[in-house]
Structure formats: C-alpha cells, structure tokens
Amino acid sequence: MSQLIMTVDDSASVRQMVNFTLKNAGYDVVEASDGKDALSKLSGPIKMVITDLNMPNMDGITLIKNIRANPAYKFIPIIMLTTESQATKKQDGKAAGATGWIVKPFKPDQLLAVVKKVLR
Amino acid sequence: MPQDDINRQAFKEEAYDLLGELESALLELEENPRDQELIDRVFRAMHTVKGSGAMFGFDDIAAFTHDVETAFDKVRCGELPVTRELLDLTLRARDHILELLGDTTGTRAGSAQAKAIIAGLRGLAGAAGGQDAAPADPASAAPGQDEALAAASGGEAVTYRVRIRPGRDIMLCGTNPLALLAELRDLGAGQVAAHIGEVPPLSELEPEGCYVWWDVILATDKGEDAIRDVFIFVEDDCEVTIQVIDTLGALEGDSTYKRLGEILVERGDISADDLRRVLGEQPRLGDMLAEAGVVSREQVESALAEQAAVRRIRKDRDEQATASSIRVAADKLDDLVDLVGELVIVQAQISQMVSTRGDQELTTLAEELERLSDELRDSTLSVRMLPIGTTFSKFRRLVRDLSAELGKQIELKTKGAETELDKTVIERLNDPLVHLLRNSIDHGVEPPDVRRAAGKDPCGEILLCAEHSGGEVLITIRDDGKGMDPASLRAKGVERGLIARDADLTDKELFSLIFAPGFSTAQKVTSVSGRGVGMDVVKRGIDALRGSIDVDSRPGEGTTITIRLPLTLAIIDGLQVQVQDEFYVVPLSLVEECVELIQSPEERRREQQVLNLRGAIVPYLRLRDWFDIPGAPPEIEQIVVTGVEGQRVGIVVDHVIGEHQTVIKTLGRVYRDVEGLSGATIKGDGSMALILDVPRLVRIAAEARG
C-alpha cells in the first residue's frame, strides 16, 4: 500500500517535479495549487503534506494552522518549502505546527531523504 | 536525464506565463499604485520565477531575479512606495528575464543592461533601508545532502549513549519520536531503553503529550554528526545528549565494561556519594539503589541494558577480529614469497630433468608437483595483494577538505576500487597520488564562478580510476578543470632553461615538462602546491616502482594523468626465447602469438620494419640489434607478437623455446637502469635468462624511430 502525500505549491513546475520524484519512489501524490485548494482536497488517507509558503488565496503558514486544527490530520508530518532568505519563516512555520523544512532549491534526493525521515 | 529536460521545459512554460501575468499586473499597478493585491501578485511572480528557476538549473535567472524580488518585498511591507521609476525598472527586468529564458547560451547574463537594472533596483531598495539577504546559494543545508560530510566524520565503529528527552508538545508538530528512534537504528546496531517513569496516572494524562524519554546505546561508524542530523528538525523541542562510551581502541584495554554504579554516576542519575553509601550494604546494587529511592527502577534497567549491550558489542567485535583476519609482519610474507620462488626454480629443474628420463611414473609425479607449485605460487602472491579501494576512500576526505579550503566544489569519483595491487606498491603510490590530486584541486579545477562563466557545472569532478590492462596496472586521474596550455608550458620551460628557445616539441613533450625539477607554473605558492618540488618527486616515485607516468591535457577541458605500473609479481608466466646464445623471457600475458619471419639480407637492411599480419600492419624490433648481439641471425627467425597499450609490436628472436615459470630476480643496483630489462631469472638448467620489459622497450623503440 503506497502512502499518500499531498504537495501544495503555486508553481506547476515544482509540483510536477515533486510529483514525479515521489511517485518514482513508490508514494502516491495529490496536488494542490494553494492553501485553499489544499484544504478542499484534505480528505482520505493523506499521510503527509509538503507545502510552499508563498501562495495566493491562502499561504502556507495559514494552511499549516488549518491542517493542525483538523483532528483527523492533527499529527501528520508537514514539511514547508522555504527559501534561504526566509529564516524567520522557519520560526513562524514551526510555531504554526510545521514538522520540518526543505530549503529551495532542492534536489530530488534531498526531498526523498526528508520524506523518509518524517514518514515511517 | 529526460526528466530534467521535462522539468526545465515545464519551468520555461510556467515562466512565460508568469512573466505575461507580471506585465499586466505591473501595468495595472501603474493605475493603482496602492493596490495590495496587485503588489502581492507581482512579488509572488518574482518569487516563483526565482525559486523554481534555481531548482531547475536556471541560475542566471534566479540570481538576476533576486534583486527584483527584494525590492518588491520591501514594497509589500510598505517600506518602499510604488513609483514610476520602480515600475520602469521592473518592466525592464521582466523583459530581461524573458531574454534570458529564450537565450540558451547564457552569454547575456552579465550584460550592461542587466547591471543597470540591478543597480537601479538596489538604489531604490537601499534607500528604503534595511538589510538584503544574499542570493540563495544552491548549496543549502537540507538534510540528506551532506552524506560526504557525515561519512567523513565517521570511519571506525564507536559506541554512543544517546539520551533523548522530547519536549511535552513534540507530537503537536507532527513529529513521531518512533521515527527518530528508527532513523537512529538505521545508523547502526542499537539498544533502546525507554523511561516511562514520568507518565502520570490516567486521570492526569494529556493524551497528546509525550511523557516518555529514551536512552539509546548505538554502535555506528557514521560519526557523531550523523547522529545529530537525525534530530535536525527537533533541535528546539528535544534535548539530545550524545556521549561516546566505547571506541575500537578500548579493545586493547580491559574487556569488561563499566560497572552499573559507574554508569549511573556518569549519567548523572545518582551522585557518587549515594553510590558509596548504598554500596556499604550488600548484594544487587541495582535493586538496592532502586529501593533506596535514589534512582528509578527504569534507570537501573536502562543502565544494565547498556552494560549488556556494550559487553555484547565488544564480544562480537573480538570474535570478528580474530575470525576474519590476522596481522602478519610484512617481512614474514617477503620471506615466504622468496621461499616459494626458490621452490618454483627447483621444481622447474626437476621437470626439465624428468622430461629427459622418459620415466612414466616420474613424469606423472613431476606434473603433479608443477600443478601444486603453481597453486602455491598464486596463493602466496595473492596474500600480498590488496584492493586499492582503501587508498581511494582516504582520498575522499582529502578532496573534500582541500576543495572546501580553496573555496571550490569538487566531487571525487572512483572506479576500479577492487583492483588489486601488491601491498608495498600501494604504500609507495600513496604520496604520489596525494600530490597529483592536490595538483588537480589546486591548479586544475577552477573556482565555481569561473566554471559557471565558462559554461561548466560549478561542481568540478575528479575521476580516479584503477584497472588491470595486459601485464600492467593503469591508474588514471582525470579532472575536468582548466587543463594546461602548451604555450605557457613552453614559455616556462624556456624561462627555466629546460628547453632551447627554438626547440620544436610536441604537446605531449611539453606536458611532460611538468615533471622536470624546479618547474612550476603556479603564480603563487599555496600551502598545497606550487613550490616546484612536487611533480618531479612524483615521477621519481613512479620510476622507482618501475612504472611510467603520462600527461594529456586539453585547455579548458581538463587534464588526464595516467600512471602505468608493471604487475611486479615476483613470479610470472613467461615465454622463453633465444637470440644467439642469450636467453630472454617475455611475460606471457603480453604475448599474442608467434609467427615466422623469413627475409633476405636486403629486406633486412630496409628501414621500415613492419609485418603484414593477416592484413594488419605490425611494427617490429629486433632484439639482436637492440642488445647489439654479435653473430648472424638464422634464416628463419621468429616474431613474438606482443600487445602493449592496445598496440601490437613484434619482437624478433632466433628461437622460441617455450613457456617457463619465471621467478623474477632483480638485477641489482648496477643494472637497474638498463633500459628494456625488468629483471632476470634462473632457467631450469640453472643458467640465467633476462626478462624483457616489453612496454618500456616498445616505447623507447617508438621514440627512437621518431
């Protein structure tokens, strides 16, 4: 049974790369283009969320808070995608309930290493 | 990789869309300079172009977009107003990015126009005050990336005590402590002891809180950094202490681990006084301590578990060490090889004598003896052979440290780590290889920005490769750095008085100049190299191993250094040949075939000495001429066709005697530099035959011919 991971990013190319990388490693993927889209798709056996922070309609931090408020998904690992210059965002993310982070730009291997780390 | 291209294409399409949207947003912003939503749209577009650009290798776009993003970040925060000037600059920036997208040669990245735009933006943004973050460097600290780092800190198996105390709320962030424990177990053998003493009764228990903490005894060779990496996300929420409690070195000391009391005191679970007090009474220290309320039962059990675990690890290690290998003094091995050599000689003599007797039983026995001594020979020689892989892994650390020190990004790739060489050869190769690697890193591979400007991957690559080829071992060091320029080598050679001003030298000869003493084209002397004493020492080292070293280079593309070493087995299979009254041995591994050569005296006098071998042209040389052996050759001569460096060369002799197990004896200091001979041997009848160094012979003959 493959584990289902949600990837949230307003950049289609990033979504595509994450999707491809995860699928190749045996995971199942559901994509969302921003926080609002993600919440509407938050159902079923989603085991992990990977989200960008900067998105229209609802940004990453708000999304994380909303996911944690949902009892069914309160304890799933949530990884945020940050850029180097957003050091403070890491703190905000953690405060909102993020489990960890990956700094952009990242290579597929780094993504897989983090997924393996938090999702068992 | 096709997926890379797919990703890049996807990014390009997305970028085109974003830039289109950006333009319209900017134009609208001109009409409504305070519309926050429009400002956000602009910022996000820039942010995405920059972030995704960097992800898919469009570094020039990412770097350029950085300043635009910074400026609009300030606008977002209300620090910078939307002005005509800002919009102009941003529109021009957008146009420039469009150009960069369409331009695959990357030459316009540093154009004056780009610089002007960036200067303008920085001026505006700078006026608003505040610090700008530096552009994102692709080498960021995502976990899992620095495996080289972790590996470098490791090496030997060390036993650690890792104490993990998660904060009460750790699970509220989606962290699974069991995942942390599992990740630790991935690093090596571990024993986990859980402490549940702090779990409150059910009425007070908060189900979402974490009340349990753990001690893990972990034996790993990955190093302490790898252990810390496991906790990289929970540094703030989890108290982790790591202590080394046992290393390989402790093997020499006492094999019993610390006593329970010591462990508890060490952990700070009890005080030394408590220990002493309670010890004043009697048995089962653990029980007593727990009963005395000085320590919890779990802590005792955890400490006992540690004791058992380490004892077991040590026992396993002991067994392993004795089972798999024994240390042997190198000279004992040398003596053994010598003895085997003598045995082989005598066996050859016996075989020779027996063949003349015609005694059936004796012949059978002699053949059996020959078979056994062959096996003994092979077995003994292989004892001294080691795979070169251990040397290669040492170099990884060297490359990593040195390239970091010089601010370069270099990856070391190795091939052929399983190639076996004689132990002493490996030892004596170490210094030359180190120096050659340092050279590549210091002078060969360029710094990342220079590489990028040249259109190369900012991370350079050094390939270290070992393989058997014919009767030789080939070791190559190839870098994709800036290569060497024959012209500047020539200039230096003239300057140093090593070559005449008007000397006409091939590129290859110019490259070989680097091995001349006192030669160095490095402008400044670094701590690593550049003092002009390195390369000639390397060459001497390789010469001492009776090997050769070659350099090939292409300016801008890189340099390849090839070291050839004879497989100096002390005993080889040889083909015995005769010229007049002299006997020689050709290493059988190099021999392809033997053909007859019948020539008239006139043909013999002709300059061009080539053979038509089934359509292929094979040059040959005459041993008689080479070694100036007096006398006339027989009418029918033999050509031993050898294969050297992929080339075939014939060696003309009078007679081919036959296969001969050849024990190599060195010629002694006086004769060591005679070209073309790699040693001597004793024949079955006790007389001597000289062993030909075929590769050398061939090379010299080729050079002499011009």
Length of chain A: 120
Q: Which CATH number covers residue B553? A: 3.30.565.10
**Side chain identity at B263, as an amino acid letter?**
I
Q: B671 CB near a chain A CB, below 8 Å?
A: no
Interface of A with B (CB under 8 A): 10-14, 16-17, 20, 54-56, 68, 74-78, 83-85, 94, 97-107, 109-110, 112-114, 117-120
Region of B329 on the Ramachandran plot (φ > 0 left; ψ -120 to 50 alpha; else beta): beta
Query: Domain span at residue B34?
Result: 2-127
pLDDT in tens, B548-601: 888 999 888 899 999 988 765 566 778 999 999 889 999 887 888 898 888 776
The pLDDT-based confidence of B252 (bands split at 50, 70, 90) is very low
Checking if the pLDDT of B435 tops 50, the result is yes
Residue ranges with strand state E in B157-198: 158-166, 188-195
pLDDT in tens, A14-55: 999 999 999 988 899 999 999 999 999 999 899 999 999 988
Q: Residue B211: what pLDDT? A: 92
The pLDDT-based confidence of B275 (bands split at 50, 70, 90) is confident
How far apart, in whole angstroms, are the C-alpha atoms of residue B352 and residue B140?
71
For residues B16-36, give the mean pLDDT.
84
Does the distance separating the beta carbons of B232 and A100 come in below 8 Å? yes
Two structure tokens written together for B600: 């008239």
pLDDT in tens, B129-170: 444 443 433 333 344 433 433 333 446 778 888 999 999 999
Q: Examine the fold and report which residue of B566, B600, B626 is the final residue of a domain before the chain moves on.
A: B566
State the SS3 of B485-553.
Answer: CHHHHHHHHHHCCCCCCCCCCCHHHHHHHHHCCCCCCCCCCCCCCCCCCHHHHHHHHHHHCCCEEEEEE
Output the average pLDDT for chain B: 79
How far apart, in whole angstroms, are the C-alpha atoms of residue B7 and residue A12?
10
Nearest CA in chain A to B47: A54
Does the distance separating the beta carbons of B51 and A83 come in below 8 Å? yes
Two structure tokens written together for B670: 């006086």
Q: B55 CB near a chain A CB, below 8 Å?
A: yes
Q: Quick check: is B139 in a domain?
A: no
Contact B583, B687 (CB under 8 A): yes
Same domain for B508 and B424:
yes
Give chain A's domain count: 1
Same domain for B334 and B273:
no
Considering only the beta carbons, identify the residue of A68, A84, A120 that sits closest to B178.
A120
DSSP string, B272-310: HHHHHHHHTS-S-HHHHHHHTTSS-HHHHHHHHHHHHHH
Distance between first and last Cα of chain A? 13
Whole-number Cα distances in Å, B634 to B502, B599, B623:
46, 10, 13
Element (H, E) at A20: helix A12-24
Q: Examine the fold and report which residue of B322, B341, B361 is the final residue of a domain before the chain moves on.
A: B322
Length of chain B: 706
Other beta carbons within 10 angstroms of residue B430's beta carbon come to 13
Considering only the beta carbons, identify the residue of A55, A94, A114 that sits closest to B142.
A114
How far apart, in whole angstroms, are the C-alpha atoms of residue B27 and residue A59?
25
B375-400 burial, b at 16+ Cβ within 10 Å, e below that, comes to: ebbeebbeebbbebeebbeebbebbb
Q: Identify from A16, A22, A117 which residue to disrupt to test chain B contact, counting B C-beta atoms within 10 A and taking the largest count.
A: A117
pLDDT in tens, B456-506: 888 889 999 998 876 678 899 999 988 888 888 888 888 877 777 777 778
Q: Quick check: is B134 in a domain?
A: no
The pLDDT-based confidence of B656 (bands split at 50, 70, 90) is very high
Two structure tokens written together for A66: 């909303």
Q: Which CATH number covers residue B244? A: 3.30.70.260
Q: Residue B569: what pLDDT? A: 55
User: Rounded to a whole number, what is the distance in Å from the CA of A28 to chain B's nearest CA?
Assistant: 18
pLDDT in tens, B359-383: 889 999 999 998 998 888 878 877 8
Q: B176 CB near a chain A CB, below 8 Å?
A: yes
For residues B27-36, give the mean pLDDT.
82
User: In chain A, which residues have their Cβ closer than 8 Å to the Cβ of B51?
Assistant: 11, 14, 83, 104-105
The pLDDT-based confidence of B282 (bands split at 50, 70, 90) is low
Instruction: Give the phi and the psi of residue B584 in degrees, each rounded to 5.
Output: -135, 160
Is the C-alpha dihedral spanning A93, A94, A96, A100 positive or negative? Answer: positive
- Say if residue B96 is exposed, middle or buried (CB neighbours under 10 Å; 0-12, 13-18, 19+): buried
How far apart, in whole angstroms, are the C-alpha atoms of residue B313 and residue B414?
32
Q: Which CATH number covers residue B674? A: 2.30.30.40
How far apart, in whole angstroms, are the C-alpha atoms of residue B649 and residue B127?
77
Query: Domain span at residue A61?
Result: 4-118
Q: Quick check: is B467 in a domain?
A: yes
Region of B276 on the Ramachandran plot (φ > 0 left; ψ -120 to 50 alpha; else beta): alpha
Q: Residue B140: what pLDDT? A: 38
Q: Where is pLDDT greater, at B658 or B284?
A: B658
Query: Where is mean pLDDT largest: A1-10, B67-76, B300-309, B646-655?
Result: A1-10
Q: Quick check: is B137 in a domain?
A: no
Q: Quick check: is B141 in a domain?
A: no
Same domain for B240 and B348:
no
Beta strands B409-415; B591-598: pairing state: unpaired
Q: B141 CB near a chain A CB, below 8 Å?
A: yes
Give chain B's domain count: 5
Two structure tokens written together for B412: 């070391």
Same domain for B433 and B537:
yes
Peptide bond into B486 cis (omega under 30): no
pLDDT in tens, B605-636: 666 677 788 888 888 888 888 888 888 888 88
Q: Residue B393: what pLDDT? A: 77
pLDDT in tens, B56-102: 888 888 888 888 888 888 888 888 888 888 888 888 888 888 888 87
Whole-number Cα distances in Å, B342 to B347, B669, B677:
9, 21, 21
The owner of tokens 């190198």 is: B330
Q: Where is pLDDT greater, at B92 or B698?
A: B92
Same domain for B507 and B601:
no
Considering only the beta carbons, identify the residue of B56, B138, B174 that sits closest to A76.
B174
Does the distance separating the beta carbons of A107 and B10 come in below 8 Å? no
Angle at B483 between CA B480 and CA B488, to 5 degrees: 170
Does the distance separating the beta carbons of B172 and A54 come in below 8 Å? no
Q: Residue B144: what pLDDT? A: 40
Instruction: Give the phi and the psi of residue B687 in degrees, each rounded to 5.
Output: -85, 175
Does the distance separating the beta carbons of B143 and A117 come in below 8 Å? yes
Does the distance separating the beta carbons of B172 and A120 come in below 8 Å? no
Q: Quick check: is B595 in a domain?
A: yes
Considering only the beta carbons, identify the residue of B13, B133, B183 that sits closest to A85.
B133
Q: Which CATH number covers residue A111? A: 3.40.50.2300
Same domain for B349 and B282:
no
Q: B140 CB near a chain A CB, below 8 Å?
A: yes
Q: Residue B41: what pLDDT? A: 84
Same domain for B526 and B396:
yes
Contact B132, B70 (CB under 8 A): yes
For residues A56-72, give the mean pLDDT.
93
The complex's ipTM works out to: 0.89
Q: Residue B283: what pLDDT? A: 58
Contact A59, A35 (CB under 8 A): yes
Same domain for B588 and B538:
no
Q: Where is pLDDT greater, at A60 or B500?
A: A60
Q: Quick check: is B286 in a domain?
A: yes
Considering only the beta carbons, identify the residue of A16, A75, A109 that sits closest to B174.
A75
Q: Quick check: is B657 in a domain?
A: yes
How far apart, in whole angstroms, are the C-alpha atoms of residue B297 and residue B303?
10
Q: pTM of this prediction?
A: 0.44
Checking if the pLDDT of B450 tops 60, the result is yes
For residues B672-683, give the mean pLDDT.
76
Q: Which CATH number covers residue B362? A: 1.10.287
